[in-house]
């Protein structure tokens, strides 16, 4: 069974024709016999458009099980905090677990969030200072959020812990949008703006939790920097965002979005259980 993950497609920011993207992705998933496709967030700057996109993709790729998460861009418009934490659609994988038929594998999905634990300690900033910087400069200031960042991340950790415990003994694939490990962070010589932004990238506590439960694979994005798979004990972290193909910010390695999407797909082969044949 083939399971594919993608993240940071940014269909609207990259000025792509959504209908054309759906058609080409659906054809690829069908042709390559991808059983499950999970997108880990940042598809549109509006959750309603993101939802409509993946509903269309599921219709056009009926032999593939399609699921998606919301990144921070998806949460800026079209959804409240309460809605974002609820099962608004069967395709929405946040705080949900998808069992892969005829395998011992499950996919646990969680949008993720941040708690400033990935910030460089030499900045010597308080939580209040990071929160103020976010309100002044970061796109996330437009996201509906009646709780603090620490409280929102605490929910991520609690629901993840519950899902991991409920699936103990199984092979677990974990999909999230935000960064779960400090091993992906900016070097000390990065400009202070990016050093501050690192506080809003994710949470080191999530990676620690996933490693402690020996999660098999973790797929994430948000940082827009492609990296080789990183193995920590029994957990492999995959960070292969598609990113921006803009004149002012060009992160692609070609001139074609479809090439970038296929190149950055994380495809995992999941062994299926052998069916015993009658004697």
What 3-state DSSP class applies to 76?
Answer: coil
Q: What is the pLDDT of residue 211?
A: 97
**Cα distance between the two ends of the chain:** 26
The model's pTM is 0.96
So what CATH class is 2-269? alpha beta
Cα distance between residue 25 and residue 240, in whole Å: 17
Mean pLDDT of 216-241: 96
| pLDDT band at residue 279 using 50, 70 and 90 as cut-offs | low
Question: Average per-residue pLDDT in the chain?
Answer: 95
Mean pLDDT of 225-236: 95
Characterize the bridge pairing of strands 171-175 and 217-220: parallel
Mean pLDDT of 232-245: 97
Strand order through the sheet with 235-239:
96-99, 105-109, 171-175, 217-220, 235-239, 230-232
Q: What is the pLDDT of residue 186?
A: 62
Q: What is the pLDDT of residues 171-223, one digit of tens each?
A: 999 999 999 998 877 666 677 788 899 999 999 999 999 999 999 999 999 99
User: Is 269 in contact with 2 (CB distance < 8 Å)?
Assistant: yes
Q: What is the pLDDT of residue 188?
A: 61
Cα distance between residue 9 and residue 74, in whole Å: 11
């Amino acid at each position: 069974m083939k399971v594919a993950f993608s993240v940071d497609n940014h269909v609207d920011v990259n000025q792509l024709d959504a209908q054309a993207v759906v058609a080409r992705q659906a054809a690829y998933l069908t042709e390559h016999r991808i059983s499950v496709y999970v997108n880990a967030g940042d598809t549109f700057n509006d959750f309603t458009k993101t939802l409509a996109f993946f509903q269309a993709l599921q219709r056009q790729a009926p032999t593939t099980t399609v699921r998606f998460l919301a990144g921070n861009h998806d949460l800026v418009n079209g959804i409240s905090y309460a809605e974002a934490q609820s099962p608004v659609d069967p395709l929405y994988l946040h705080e949900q677990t998808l069992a892969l038929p005829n395998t011992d594998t499950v996919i646990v999905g969680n949008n993720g969030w941040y708690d400033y634990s990935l910030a460089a300690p030499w900045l010597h900033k308080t939580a209040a200072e990071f929160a103020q910087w976010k309100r002044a400069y970061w796109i996330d200031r437009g996201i509906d959020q009646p709780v603090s960042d620490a409280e929102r991340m605490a929910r991520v950790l609690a629901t993840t812990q519950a899902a991991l415990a409920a699936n103990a003994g199984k092979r677990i694939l974990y999909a999230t949008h935000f960064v779960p490990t400090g091993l992906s962070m900016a070097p000390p010589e990065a400009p202070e703006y990016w050093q501050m932004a690192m506080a809003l990238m994710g949470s080191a506590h999530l990676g620690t939790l996933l490693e402690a439960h020996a999660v098999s694979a973790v797929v994430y994005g948000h940082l827009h920097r492609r990296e080789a798979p990183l193995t920590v004990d029994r957990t492999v972290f995959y960070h292969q965002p598609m990113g921006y193909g803009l004149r002012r910010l060009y992160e692609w390695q070609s001139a074609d979005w479809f090439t970038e999407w296929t190149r950055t797909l994380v495809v995992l082969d999941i062994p299926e259980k052998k069916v015993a044949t009658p004697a």
